């Protein structure tokens, strides 16, 4: 399966569980009603409706993504949600934003800045350039998880694989890690940098669509790391994620797991803050 199609499949499924954290973050920012915001790296547009709810009833959103396949899905999602008149999409690079200065009241990015190639400080600076003075620039980033209850050593080893440590690599300097986003905000010249973490608990009994979403989260988190695992770990991991196996982790009657999203934000200097704050 082509990578873009695989990403669409996984996101569509996993968004059932991701949505509460994303919605909570959008609400917590207290974005001004009627404002015009930028969703940088909007992907398939799965959280565009959540942002529009936060700036209802007259707000407008521009979604930007570099992948045409993702944007096609986003356009269709907006049509199905009947918000096409309040949102526009554009293909482009978050590292080289195709917008004039002061084009938006705020900018937001989920799992993009810091996860794609390029200097995250420069990307944040670019977001600040297109936001009006006093507007907020916010980054929402996957920050932790416990998804394999009862298998702490296996989960720790999975977190040490290439996919598990992504976007970091062995030679990355510490300041490039997404959890160092506070430094990115201040380094880009934004004022009053701050952070807040949102937790999503996942526990049995799970409905079938929740089980599919959880399986998608596990696949998104660790991919196919079998070549980096011992034979014993490979066998256990395959069993845990195989829905056909009687010991599939998502079918455990006592399943409990959680994941977190962390919101980092700062204010573009030069004017009064344009949002109510957290």
Name the DSSP letter for residue 269.
S
**pLDDT (0 to 100) of residue 170:** 85
pLDDT in tens, 214-267: 999 999 999 999 899 999 999 999 999 999 999 999 999 999 999 999 999 999
Structure tokens at 177: 């890690």
pLDDT at position 275: 60
> How high is the pLDDT of residue 168?
87
Q: What are the DSSP calls for 62-76, one per residue?
A: EEEES-HHHHHHHHH
Residue 195, pLDDT above cutoff 80: yes
Asked whether the beta carbons of 244 and 161 are under 8 A apart, the reply is no
Distances (CA, A) of 213 to 8, 68, 152, 240: 13, 24, 21, 15
Confidence band of 46 (pLDDT split at 50, 70, 90): confident
Per residue in 82-135, pLDDT tens?
A: 999 999 999 999 999 999 999 999 999 999 998 888 899 999 999 999 999 999
The CA distances from residue 217 to 13, 102, 205, 226, 250, in Å, are: 8, 36, 17, 17, 11
Show the tokens assigned to 196: 């807040």
Sheet holding 131-146, edge to edge: 87-91, 60-65, 36-40, 104-110, 131-146, 256-267, 191-203
Confidence at residue 7, expressed as pLDDT on a 0 to 100 scale:
83
Q: Is the pLDDT of residue 1 over 70?
A: no
The pLDDT score that the predictor gives to residue 274 is 66
Average pLDDT of the chain to the nearest whole number: 93
| pTM for the whole structure | 0.93
Compare 272 and 102 and report the one with higher pLDDT. Answer: 102
Residue 276 has pLDDT above 80, yes or no: no
CA-wise closest residue to 17 among 253, 265, 250, 237: 250
- Beta strand 131-146 with 256-267 is antiparallel
């Amino acid at each position: 399966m082509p990578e873009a199609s695989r990403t669409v499949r996984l996101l569509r499924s996993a968004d059932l569980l991701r949505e509460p954290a994303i919605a909570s973050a959008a609400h917590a920012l207290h974005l001004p009603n009627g404002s015009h915001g930028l969703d940088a790296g909007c992907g398939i547009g799965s959280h565009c409706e959540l942002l529009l709810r936060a700036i209802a009833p007259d707000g407008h959103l521009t979604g930007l993504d570099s992948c045409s396949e993702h944007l096609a899905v986003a356009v269709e999602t907006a049509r199905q949600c009947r918000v096409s008149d309040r949102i526009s999409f554009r293909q482009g690079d978050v590292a080289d934003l195709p917008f004039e200065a002061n084009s938006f009241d705020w900018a937001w990015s989920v799992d993009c800045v810091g996860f794609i190639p390029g200097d995250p400080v420069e990307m944040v600076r670019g977001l600040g350039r297109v936001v009006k003075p006093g507007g907020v620039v916010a980054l929402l980033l996957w920050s932790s998880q416990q998804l394999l209850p009862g298998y702490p050593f296996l989960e720790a080893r999975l977190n040490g694989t290439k996919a598990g440590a992504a976007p970091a690599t062995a030679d990355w300097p510490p300041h490039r890690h997404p959890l160092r986003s506070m430094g990115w905000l201040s380094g880009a010249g934004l004022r009053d940098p701050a952070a807040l973490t949102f937790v999503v608990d996942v526990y049995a009994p799970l409905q079938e669509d929740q089980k599919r979403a959880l399986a998608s989260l596990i696949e998104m988190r660790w991919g196919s790391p079998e070549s980096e695992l011992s034979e014993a770990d490979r066998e256990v991991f395959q069993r845990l994620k195989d829905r056909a196996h009687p010991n599939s982790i998502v079918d455990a009657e006592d399943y409990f797991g959680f994941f977190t999203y962390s919101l980092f934000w700062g204010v573009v200097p030069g004017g009064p803050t344009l949002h109510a704050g957290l």
